[in-house]
Structure 1
């Protein structure tokens, strides 16, 4: 792919450490002046399709959570591009125990739960949405981000899958391999007027991480963790969209450096627009990989 040079300075937000921060912006956002981009991708929402975000709360110590993951894979095979899955490792099942690695009498490794998949934003969602048991998920945060069991997920999907979208998302990603820098650019356009306050949320997700998982009482060494939330790029609750009248357009962009232990080929950006709490309903979502 041709190199793409875009001389745009990404705005960095500085927050005083003495202030109370309810929506912290990650501190690894960077300036991208002078970067020559290796890869660029773009996607825009289908104006007739409401995409559905399903946020599953999980943990490597949650013995029944793989049942939820398998249900999401089944749903993904049915609803395809309309469904955007997200796995949020949070709560006690996502803890890294002091004795996370275990060995049998012969000294052979039988479990290793030393990888920490949890992030502060995920823990905040877990608490705010009141997750009480697993498998658990919220479908586009319907009914004030009501958390439900896996038997309810397809019912909720079918209740909104034919809705006409109120807003469109145009999502671009740029990536420079020499600095492992990602830039995400999001354009939103309202297709009809909406009352209330709305936020844009941008996530960095890593797919297909192979690590340990407790699965129905069995320690599985080579379990594939799908759709793992790695970072809330623009803060735990995102950033406000200034107005939501028909035809209103908003553009936001953020850049960060990928940690070296994240697989760039499996990383993607998920963007969604939701009504500010206590409603939280996700009106539209979109996803895009870093590497084509």
Structure 2
């Protein structure tokens, strides 16, 4: 918690798109022009100052404002666009009164502010308050930077009783050429004693059949500490209620819960689940709002092998981008299912479709997207380079509805690539899925500023690019995106909008490799992606990659097995182990028919246990586990799989 002389505040690293708060004193959602509604802006000569509009209209090349979770329009100061004296960019609220108030008063607003640095300068932002109608202001807090929209909560109790109060948001570029700040949903209110909100429910859209924990998060907006509440989930009219107790959650604090009853998704079909929270501290409050979330889930009865597309947004001019390239290289070298792509901006390797993707997703450089997927708790799709590997691992375990099979042929005389794709759906799907092919080139070099890589790490001790120069002349650019054959968002009408489970579709792309590209360094990435008017809902479901004149496909494993199809079957377990032989890792898929503790024991030919893993309690349902065996000597082993009182054994060959 940050504090100053008169106030405290909490900046939450999650976004709370709520619509009402207790007794409202000041409420501004910026959907209509606030400068016609008492808000004002002041700035130094030559500065554009704070403006109003959509996030896209207020964005620029290097300050791309993520879509706000709380409406279409926002206010923003954009230093990147004007490159001007933005040291005195002020946004000032209308006057409001706190006279006659003796209890608690809160301020809540949404902030998009990177707190970024460039060329030795760092941007800052402040929240200030006036109690004399704007004649003088004092500082409430220094606003903290984040790569996503954040909810900032402020305690205004100390200002209760004043009748002419104004807020002022101050953006300061400190003389540099920086980024900017954006604001949305400003609310000053008197909180109710009991006010419980449901922030999120952690259920993916696609899951394999089985039984799952229902996890979620609540926030206490009541002045009374939250000591208990009910959480229920409803499927088809059947309601399961769990009481959470033994807690002490103060105003503005969140609590993560797990429902007592697991979600039963044992049948492959579509489900609609409604989750609700109520009865804070046992009180039957009928005025609760934002306390219910509905989720649509599709349960799938096959395991689809997943490849993850990691896109780095970079540029030869970007001094911090060598670090992103180094991280991307390590991910590719250490993870077989990582497909790595670098989309350039503002240099000799940039192209129009890449710029379109960057303008939609990127708020700074270097940054990246992982399957263009919006992870829970994030307000946008882009991710800091420090999170790429962990995000990759999260997506690797995702259940997806599509498999991709592709092959390409290359005619060296015409330099034409022909890519034939097949995509199979393993569930019903309603939406706008599209096919695409990325052309990627490795080991790209050139001369001049369009290729020579700026390098902030030339003098940083211990960094891999220490001493490489600044710029790095003759830099070897890897993973360079050259073309998106279906455009930035996929080929329109390449797949139908309504798809039944089991349907397969074919499509062909062609591309002529320009004369300056090295065909020996070309990779072809074939993928299926989603399109939506919401930029945060354009994920890449699955992909394969190949060199020229090669083919690739995603593997599929059927979960519900008959005795004839399973590798190992008894009356309580169905198990498949693959690949076998293996040199690195072995995947194990289980259908368990009773509750029990799952353990794996690898035995060598002398009867010695060489590896034991306890996976803990498992309920009836489908599960997958991956076991690393790269530290075992080559040879023949036996895997003993135990669950409850059942045991099966499988022969395993490690190469």
Confirm whether residue 133 of structure 1 aligns to residue 364 of structure 2. Answer: yes
Over 3 Å counting, the alpha-carbon distance change for 1:169 and 1:190 in structure 2 is same
Cα distance in 2 for partners of 1:47, 1:206 equals: 31
- Do structure 1's residue 286 and structure 2's residue 517 form an aligned pair? no
Q: Over alpha carbons, which structure has the higher Rg?
A: 2
In the TM superposition, what are the counterparts of 1:62-141 in structure 2 within 5 Å?
Answer: 62-80=318-336, 82-90=337-345, 94-95=346-347, 116-129=348-361, 131-141=362-372
1:193 aligns with 2:428: yes
Shift of 1:182: 1.0
2:453 matched residue in structure 1: 213
In structure 2, C-alpha distance between the alignment counterparts of 1:190 and 1:291, rounded to whole Å: 25
How far apart, CA to CA, are the structure 1 residues paired with 2:388 and 2:343? 16
Verify: 1:59 aligned to 2:311, yes or no: no
Alignment partners' CA distance in 2, 1:62 and 1:148: 17
Q: Which runs of 5+ in 1 are unaligned?
A: 1-45, 96-115
Q: Deviations over 1:145-178 (max 9, x none)?
A: 6111111212211222122332111111111111
How far the C-alpha of 1:47 sits from its partner, in A, is 5.8
The aligned residue for residue 481 of structure 2 is 229
Asked if the contact 2:308/2:543 (under 8 Å) is kept, the reply is: yes
Q: In the aligned structure 2, how far is the partner of 1:244 from the partner of 1:228?
A: 33
- Match of 2:330, SS state, is helix
| Superposition RMSD in Å | 1.9
CA distance in 2, matches of 1:123, 1:163: 28
Aligned counterpart for 2:503 among listed residues 234, 248, 256: 248
Match of 2:391 among 156, 181, 185: 156
In the other structure, the counterpart of 1:48 is 304
More strand by share: 2
Q: How many residues align?
A: 222
The structure richer in helix per residue is: 1
Matches of 1:158 and 1:170, distance apart in 2: 23
Instruction: Find the aligned partners of 1:164 and 1:142 in 2 and give their Cα distance.
Output: 13
**Counterpart position of 2:409:** 174
Shift of 1:291: 5.1
What secondary structure sits across from 2:475 in the alignment? strand
TM-score, length-normalised on structure 1? 0.72
Measure, in 2, the Cα distance between the counterparts of 1:257 and 1:197: 28
2:374 paired residue number = 143
Secondary structure at 1:68's aligned position in 2? helix
In the alignment, is residue 257 of structure 1 matched against residue 492 of structure 2? no
Greater CA drift, 255-264 or 214-223: 214-223
Question: Distance between the aligned counterparts of 1:138 and 1:290, measured in 2?
Answer: 26
| DSSP-derived class of the 1:215 partner | coil
Contact 2:313–2:366 (8 Å) recurs in 1 = yes
1:10-63 Cα deviation digits (max 9, x unpaired): xxxxxxxxxxxxxxxxxxxxxxxxxxxxxxxxxxxx963211001110001111
